[in-house]
Amino acid sequence: MADLPLDGRVAIVTGASGGIGAAIVARYTKAGARVAALDLARSLPAAPGGGMVMECDVTDDAAVARAVAAVMERFGRIDILVNNAAGPVLVGKVTEITAATWRQTLEINLTGAFLMCQSAIPHMAAGGGGVIVNVASQLGTVTTKGRAPYSASKAGLISFTRTLAVDHAEDGIRAVSLSPGAVMTSRLTTVMNGEAGVEEALGPKHALGRVGRPEEIAEAALFIASDGASFMTGSDMLVDGGYCAT
């Protein structure tokens, strides 16, 4: 997608050290954006070309406000916000999980996006508009056993995106959720005995017969943020290899 430049635009990407987040940071940087990569201190990535990195716990109101203020001080504008931070996928039936697990998952996956939007949107609007990309999941549209907190949080994120779109269209802001299927990241390979284990367990659940790659999700995130998607808002882009079609 070399014809979808982001030259001169400033993007914030949360959860920037993970497989999908790091791929989005790299792709946006390659497309010409200046990227502020946000994540927890223990997993901060190297600074992307022309960008910055910053520690940020997206569930902490004050930390979010400091991060957004730092981006504004460094770059003077915010054009793109990618809410990609996500908590661990803890498996268990509703009767088996704890209330703390439920709250933690929603705090990171949903409230974190809310706090980032709340801080960034005024700056985006003042600059003439922008794009919000909320990284959800195919499990926000369908579900599977033992994923109640995760599925609920991602479904909520998809719905939150629609409200953002209608609330802030007048500010020149587009909002789109991006829902990947299973993606080959360290989170999966760690619990499924490497890439072969991931493909064996999850590949057949997708119509294409394989899981996705972070770079494929990053290409979709690039399209959403680009002028090529200028008439796209309030929708959910499934990039799930046909998971929801099977």
What are the sequence ranges of the domains in the chain? 10-182+213-239
Torsion angle, alpha carbons of 41, 42, 47, 52, to 10: -10
User: In the structure encoding, which two tokens stand for residue 8, read together?
Assistant: 């001169």
- Residue 147 · residue 165 · CB < 8 Å: no
Where is 101: in which H helix or E strand?
helix 99-106
What's this model's pTM, rounded to 2 decimal places?
A: 0.94
Q: Which of 150, 160, 223, 243 is catalytic?
A: 150
User: What is the mean pLDDT for each group of 10 consecutive residues in the chain (246 residues)?
Assistant: 78 94 95 95 67 96 98 98 90 93 96 98 98 97 93 97 98 98 86 86 93 96 97 98 94
Q: Is 150 a catalytic residue?
A: yes
Sheet holding 52-55, edge to edge: 52-55, 34-39, 10-14, 80-83, 130-135, 173-180, 236-239
Secondary structure percentages of the chain, helix, strand, coil, to 5: 50, 15, 35
* pLDDT value for 44: 63
10-182+213-239 falls under which CATH superfamily?
Answer: NAD(P)-binding Rossmann-like Domain (3.40.50.720)
One-letter amino acid of 122: P
Sequence-separated (6 or more) residues with CB below 8 Å from residue 94: 148
